[in-house]
Amino acid sequence: MAPEHRFLPRFAAEPPQEDLPYGRWAERLGEEFLAGVAQLDVDAQELGEPGEILWYPDRSWHGRTYVPGTSLTANGYELFGYVRFVPPPQDGQPSDFSAFVDFTEETAARNPDWQLDLCDEVIGSWRGESGAVAAMTLVWGHPLVSGGRVATAELANLAVDQCELVSERFTLIAPDDYRHDLLEIKLFGVKGQELARESLYGEDEEEDEQAPGAS
């Protein structure tokens, strides 16, 4: 077999191990998520009361498990983030909980042209050849078109992670912004046909990232 032309981490995270959170486990994660909301540097009355938290498939990487979530507020903002913890040993309990939460007014309802509703957050880095560094990025979301089965993360058309949809939701962990290549998220149907794709970057931002001399 010939050497790989593109040397970078692929499928670095464990696939989802559990069902989507429910019951007491969902309540436990919700406490952490809302604690993260309380730390936001914004007037709580401006955001509005959080609604139900929608949980996404778990993914584990670098000794931590990430369970992303989103919630629409009473004033039309979206809260997005994740709860992170150390997975339990056999017959043990998870530990070392922490949460990251942010908010946005850019929701799917305000962007009817979207095909995928995506959230993302950098959770680490990976050092590659010649000092190049990839941003290991947690991506979660759901399709806004029907018929999807698998979501993939692709860097320069090379699949670096994938996740089967669970209740129309997916979570990915993949290297991004590596040697001027930027992640694209793609949705595929049952027969392997591509149904949708979205970049993590707006068109103007993507052009700036790929321009010569861009940082």
Report the half-sphere exposure of 202 (CA within 13 A, side-chain side): 4
What percent of the chain is modeled with pLDDT above 90? 83
d(CA 194, CA 150): 10
Going by the DSSP 8-state scheme, the letter that residue 88 receives in this structure is P
Alpha carbon distance 145, 21 (integer Å): 24
Domain ranges of the chain: 23-210
Q: What is the model's pLDDT at position 42? A: 86
- 54 vs 108: CA distance, rounded Å: 14
Show the tokens assigned to 79. Answer: 């809260």
| pLDDT digit string, tens, across residues 104-130 | 999 999 999 999 999 999 999 999 988
- Amino acid present at 78: E
Please say whether the beta carbons of 142 and 195 come within 8 A: no
Q: Enumerate residue ranges in the chain where pLDDT < 50.
A: 210-215
Task: State the pTM of this model.
Answer: 0.91
